[in-house]
Structure 1
């Protein structure tokens, strides 16, 4: 009797309790194989051909690099035996720029000479001014021994090379040789703060006599290209502030004019340049107390600040204070009160742009100051003492630590329109320039 057909559902598939026929298993295996083939074909295969090409290329580069290294070794061995008299010999490779010595300690770096054959004008360097990091000017004069005319020198590459011009013969014997440098290239050289001298309108190439100031010229405010200066009075800290105007100097007109308004006390120091925010500082004495004042509108108005507790009563009459000076970096302003031989009587610090000061350094805990104090970007103060050494303070002038290392002997530090100048390096008349007080370039001239 024939076997009944299997029980199926509506889709013609066996019901769960139905048993497959004997020939159903091979058909199932075939369908599974077909499905596996479809799945494998759908998987993207890696670019084996491209991978093989890259591997061949890398092996070729490694072989080439190895061959080049072996060739370099062979050339290095053969160079000493090369017959350089051969007219067909290859030219010698260009020498790398010589690297000069570096002197450093406590984060202060001085880059030394890169050439030993440098210009040597007669006399000694007396004044250096930089109007930007590349353009600088200096004066050299014979202050002792046989007199010689003052020499002016200018650089356009940061002090690596210099162009020299000798000033007229009547500059021989100047007791000092001071320089004013304006951003537009106008220069003025004179033997002292209240003396007349010579001027240049072309960056120091040619010079002409500077017109003498007229006694009754009206006072004027200082313009953005003008410089302020000190006209000394009859005694110390009794001077007045005057304006140097480069446009009048170029026109061969009297260039020194009284400032429109004075700070209201006897002045003994005027900043050589304005601060970055346009503030121009002066220092002096008012009512027996060391005082500073600032103008931010070219001398139209002043804001005086008395440095209290009073300085001038520390065993030294106020009229004998050699100087009250100010230096600044951003909102941080430092006022220094100096006694005989530039001994630091006191240091005052302001963190609000000079509106208020706090006394931080006192006599006996500080040092002498051969020149200006230099605020560094890391918050420290840099100073040079009268012992010709470098000092740094990390506490706003309360204490100073001597920087040792390989730093050379040094004279005074001075502010210019663009950075600072260090004088008398190594005790032999060299100078160095720094835009920030931390990294210095020794000038390639002496």
Structure 2
């Protein structure tokens, strides 16, 4: 057995009879033993991987409140970890991002989180302890919620669990999913989502940077939400936008003080009808787009919180059946792209243009936080998948 590994095991065995230490304390002690025994530099390099593995195992196994009881699964063989289908990918900024991945060499499959810190040029995979799913299920029933460059939560579909990490997936804790108390505003580094209540106005649940949740003290005073559900869209100026509706109307609300107060935004044309479209798309906090798909196809833009709307979609082709819809994405510079699925045509309106004009026939991509994401497989949006910082240069997403 390697000298360093033996020293590590001796130190861990000795400390097993004492109160549980921190992983940092064990690592410090072993470093001291290494120095006293004059271990060579080559052995020290080999010890780094051992220290990291054992430190993570100690943290996972220590019986403290809020930590996950299962130990980390053994590393999966190279090439056995792949993106989930459909993919869940989100970039906190142009360089830092996460993707859900899975290894199904055995049944059940093991869930992984893949992290990049170099714009997707490379990815580091981290198993999520205790998070498995049957192979026949084909994908994990969790939602990826990225709060920052190293912080994320995995919420179960049924609301029974939340896995939370602040170091990119290297270590995990469990946090309560149910909201605890209220908060006056959506904090920096926090996320918010709409929670519908049968027969009552909506709530807004705020996921705080520490992984706990609370109710926003002053949600918009909407009627009960019955026909739509949406997360809260955030502008990069801190504004918050809530879009939804009931069986008779679609509505949009904006807050420019992080959710302390809300104002009803009037919608244009038929966009206020029940189930009229999609949106909103917000860029730079001030450029607001609403894409209307039924009964007409329209695309609207406002730069004054809905006081005035420009009709950009006058030349969009009609949809006689009323069931094909439209795809749309807003680029980082505020340009609107609309995709017509029947013809495959792409229409564009730059911030300075007053209508959409056709620019070609090409698959449209989607925003995934700080980057664009697209599928380039034979089935349109299917994999393999590529990401881009500008919509011009694309890199295959390879784990």
TM-score interval, smaller chain:
0.5 to 0.7
Matches of 1:119 and 1:268, distance apart in 2? 36
Matches of 2:131 and 2:214, distance apart in 1? 25
Q: What residue in structure 1 maps to residue 329 of structure 2?
A: 373
Is the contact between residue 268 and residue 323 of structure 1 (CA under 8 Å) also seen in structure 2? no
Q: What residue in structure 1 maps to residue 244 of structure 2?
A: 284
4+ long deviations beyond 6 Å: none
Q: What residue in structure 2 maps to residue 431 of structure 1?
A: 385
Aligned partner (choices 269, 287, 299) of residue 332 of structure 1: 287
SS at match of 1:373: strand
Matches of 1:415 and 1:388, distance apart in 2? 25
C-alpha displacement of 1:426:
5.1
What do residues 313-358 of structure 1 show as CA deviations (whole Å, max 9, x unaligned)?
A: 4xxxx1x45744223246422122456xxx9853221133554334
Question: Within 5 Å, which residues of 2 pair with 1:350-429?
Answer: 350-352=302-304, 354-361=306-313, 365=318, 368-370=325-327, 372-375=328-331, 377=333, 380-384=335-339, 386=341, 389=344, 391-394=346-349, 399=356, 401=358, 403-404=360-361, 409=363, 413-416=366-369, 418-423=370-375, 427=379, 428-429=382-383
Q: What residue in structure 2 maps to residue 93 of structure 1?
A: none
Matches of 1:326 and 1:197, distance apart in 2? 28
Is the contact between residue 176 and residue 191 of structure 1 (CA under 8 Å) also seen in structure 2? yes
SS at match of 2:265: strand
Greater relative contact order structure (CA < 8 Å, 6+ sep): 1
C-alpha displacement of 1:193:
8.5
What do residues 285-315 of structure 1 show as CA deviations (whole Å, max 9, x unaligned)?
A: 27933222211211001122121334354xx
Corresponding position: 1:258 with 2:211: no
What do residues 247-267 of structure 1 show as CA deviations (whole Å, max 9, x unaligned)?
A: 2x2xxxxx1211121122247
SS at match of 2:87: strand
Corresponding position: 1:154 with 2:139: no
Seen in structure 2, the aligned counterparts of structure 1 residues 223 and 167 have a Cα distance that, compared at 3 Å, is: same
Matches of 1:419 and 1:394, distance apart in 2? 20
What do residues 18-40 of structure 1 show as CA deviations (whole Å, max 9, x unaligned)?
A: xxxxxxxxxxxxxxxxxxxxxxx
Matches of 1:344 and 1:423, distance apart in 2? 28
Corresponding position: 1:165 with 2:126: yes
SS at match of 2:186: coil
Q: What residue in structure 1 maps to residue 398 of structure 2?
A: 445
C-alpha displacement of 1:400:
5.4
Seen in structure 2, the aligned counterparts of structure 1 residues 123 and 434 have a Cα distance that, compared at 3 Å, is: closer
Aligned partner (choices 181, 190, 201) of residue 226 of structure 1: 190
Corresponding position: 1:209 with 2:174: yes
Q: What residue in structure 2 maps to residue 308 of structure 1?
A: 268
Matches of 2:168 and 2:306, distance apart in 1? 35
Unaligned runs of 5+ in 1: 1-116, 250-254
Is the contact between residue 119 and residue 445 of structure 1 (CA under 8 Å) also seen in structure 2? no
Q: What residue in structure 2 maps to residue 241 of structure 1?
A: 204
C-alpha displacement of 1:155:
0.7
Seen in structure 2, the aligned counterparts of structure 1 residues 430 and 142 have a Cα distance that, compared at 3 Å, is: same
Q: State the TM-score, normalized to the length of structure 2.
A: 0.63
What do residues 106-133 of structure 1 show as CA deviations (whole Å, max 9, x unaligned)?
A: xxxxxxxxxxx98852643521111121
Q: What residue in structure 2 maps to residue 102 of structure 1?
A: none
Q: Which has the larger radius of gyration?
A: 1
SS at match of 1:361: coil
Is the contact between residue 432 and residue 440 of structure 1 (CA under 8 Å) also seen in structure 2? no
Matches of 2:312 and 2:249, distance apart in 1? 17
Matches of 2:158 and 2:359, distance apart in 1? 33
Is the contact between residue 389 and residue 402 of structure 1 (CA under 8 Å) also seen in structure 2? no
What do residues 346-386 of structure 1 show as CA deviations (whole Å, max 9, x unaligned)?
A: 3221133554334433785487344x521463x64224455
